[in-house]
Amino acid sequence: MEVKILSAKFDIENSHLLKTAEKHGAYSTLDKLFSMEPADVIEEVKNSGLRGRGGAGFPAGIKWSFLPKGLDKPVYLTVNSDESEPATFKDRYILVRDPHMLIEGIIICCYAIGCHVSYIYIRGEYTSQVKILQQAIDEAYEAGYLGEKVAGNDFALEVTVHRGAGAYICGEETALLESIEGKKGQPRSKPPFPAVVGLYDCPTIINNVQSIASLPFIIENGADAYKAYGTEKSSGTHLFGISGHVDKPGMYELPLGLPLMEVIEKVAGGVWKNRQLKGVIPGGSSTPVLTVEEAKTVTLDYESMAEHKTMFGSGGIVVLDETVDIVKLVKNLIDFYHHESCGQCTPCREGLGWMLKIVKKLIAGDGTRSDIDLLVELCDNIEMKTVCVLSAACTMPVRSYLNKFRHEFEAYAKDEGATNNDLAKE
């Protein structure tokens, strides 16, 4: 069931070092790359069906084609390695175990889009990861894969690692750009979109680590070889981080389109301690939860997730067993997003705090059923009323828990007591 494309070198000793990576094929695509026209590289990526692996799932090659033509401005590539979504840990495997695959992918993308300066924006908490990544970049410069003449070709490329300061919001692409520019990490209003007005007001492509790291395989083997994995509309493989209540949590590379329950049972060893399954978070903390019945019919691809009114997200699968207290889970979820709000928008800044107070009130035994209704109403009034989607990243999953596990919230509520206005006055 597992596939070795992105993870081919993960289990090789010292795979992060250039000499080991080269021995196993690193940078072998560059001769072919520089014999191609940039437009042909973009077309190959389009044909592969590669979709953004950061969560949105937008086709990578199409995103590249949005860059305006004929502007007298530099083009930038920023690689989003701000892996801050709870339950997501795929990109760090690439950074630590095969950073040269990422660097090779950056070269491919930059050549295709006419970019000569690239930034890797890395999560502030990734301290050991950034050391390994920077060492790999230094090795690439010394070997001539980066610098004035990439692999001896008439193409210059500079790559810089930019460390974040530990803000979840900087995983949002425009907040990431603000942070690189030295400003407060707050999202920008769109349009204009980064492909037109991005870093330093120049055209900018922003792609996830895994998206960029997929490029060497596509260029070396062709679009059809990549499309041999996955489904018609969700091609290729994905690094799935499986955590929670399973016997074998971990990171697994799998083709898209597999049945979720088959992956949980055969790859992750099934629900631990002979307990029953209660629900599955399919793609990181911001994705709506799946019930057991839904989990039995969903497959791991973008289309199936959408049909089940959830999202593929970052591929961070969390398995919940029968002992999970959904209300306390929701409290932790809201607590995280309220803490990580940049504070720019009132619905997010104030609304998430209000939701947190209500859930705490329920857990304390002071809430009523009308408080549960108010939570649903707040979700509706907050979602998509802000500059970015951080508020929706909280309200979408919260609404799913309220709808699918309402009985657990009602078990905490008392029929009479404090009114909704009590919290509004605080």
**Residue 10 falls inside a structural domain:** no
As a whole number, mean pLDDT of residues 301-316 equals 95
Do both 99 and 203 map to the same domain? Answer: yes
**Residue 320 falls inside a structural domain:** no
**Residue 319 falls inside a structural domain:** no
Do both 45 and 191 map to the same domain? Answer: yes
Residue listed under structure tokens 């692409």: 173
Do both 177 and 241 map to the same domain? Answer: no
Q: What percent of the chain has pLDDT over 90?
A: 93
Do both 82 and 179 map to the same domain? Answer: yes
Question: Per-residue pLDDT tens for 113-128?
Answer: 999 999 999 999 999 9
Long-range contacts of 258-261 (CB under 8 A, 24+ apart): 258/1, 258/299, 258/300, 259/298, 259/299, 259/300, 260/290, 260/295, 260/298, 260/299, 260/300, 260/317, 261/295, 261/296
Distance from C-alpha of 83 to C-alpha of 168, rounded to nearest angstrom: 8
As a whole number, mean pLDDT of residues 236-248 equals 97
**Residue 176 falls inside a structural domain:** yes
**Residue 7 falls inside a structural domain:** no
Per-chain mean pLDDT for the chain: 95
What's the number of domains the chain is made of?
3
Which residue type does 15 have? S
Average the pLDDT over each of 70-74, 265-269, 282-286, 417-421 and give the range with the smallest value: 417-421
Q: Say which DSSP state 288 is in.
A: P
Can you give the CATH number for the domain in which 281 is found?
A: 3.10.20.600
Can you give the CATH number for the domain in which 345 is found?
A: 1.20.1440.230
**Residue 4 falls inside a structural domain:** no
As a whole number, mean pLDDT of residues 161-190 equals 95
As a whole number, mean pLDDT of residues 386-391 equals 95
Residue 240 tokens, joined? 């799935």
Distance from C-alpha of 60 to C-alpha of 57, rounded to nearest angstrom: 8
Question: Per-residue pLDDT tens for 6-64?
Answer: 999 999 999 999 999 999 999 999 999 999 999 999 999 999 999 999 888 889 999 99
**Residue 18 three-state SS:** helix
pLDDT of residue 417: 46
As a whole number, mean pLDDT of residues 228-245 equals 96
Question: Per-residue pLDDT tens for 394-426?
Answer: 999 999 999 999 999 999 998 754 444 454 444
**Residue 190 three-state SS:** coil
As a whole number, mean pLDDT of residues 231-255 equals 96
Do both 186 and 282 map to the same domain? Answer: no
Of 200, 227, 254, which marks where a domain is finished? 227
- Integer-rounded Cα Rg, in Å, for the chain is 22
Do both 373 and 245 map to the same domain? Answer: no
Distance from C-alpha of 76 to C-alpha of 293, rounded to nearest angstrom: 45
Range(s) of the domain holding residue 377? 326-424
Of 255, 277, 309, which marks where a domain is finished? 309
Of 169, 201, 227, which marks where a domain is finished? 227
Do both 215 and 102 map to the same domain? Answer: yes
pLDDT of residue 415: 74
Do both 251 and 207 map to the same domain? Answer: no
Do both 160 and 279 map to the same domain? Answer: no
The closest alpha carbon to 35, from 108, 96, 101, belongs to 108
Do both 277 and 367 map to the same domain? Answer: no
As a whole number, mean pLDDT of residues 383-390 equals 94
**Residue 28 falls inside a structural domain:** yes
Do both 289 and 363 map to the same domain? Answer: no
Residue listed under structure tokens 């204009």: 192
**Residue 110 pLDDT exceeds 70:** yes
Residue 42 tokens, joined? 């973009």
DSSP 225-285: HHHTSB-SSSBSEEEEEEEESBSS-EEEEEETT-BHHHIIIIIS-SBGGGPPEEEEE-SST
Do both 154 and 25 map to the same domain? Answer: yes
Can you give the CATH number for the domain in which 64 is found?
A: 3.40.50.11540
CB-CB contact of 181 with 397 (8 Å)? no
**CB crowding 143-157: b at 16 or more within 10 Å, else e:** eebbeeebbebebeb
**Residue 354 falls inside a structural domain:** yes
Q: Is 410 exposed, middle or buried (0-12, 13-18, 19+ CB in 10 A)?
A: middle
pLDDT of residue 424: 47
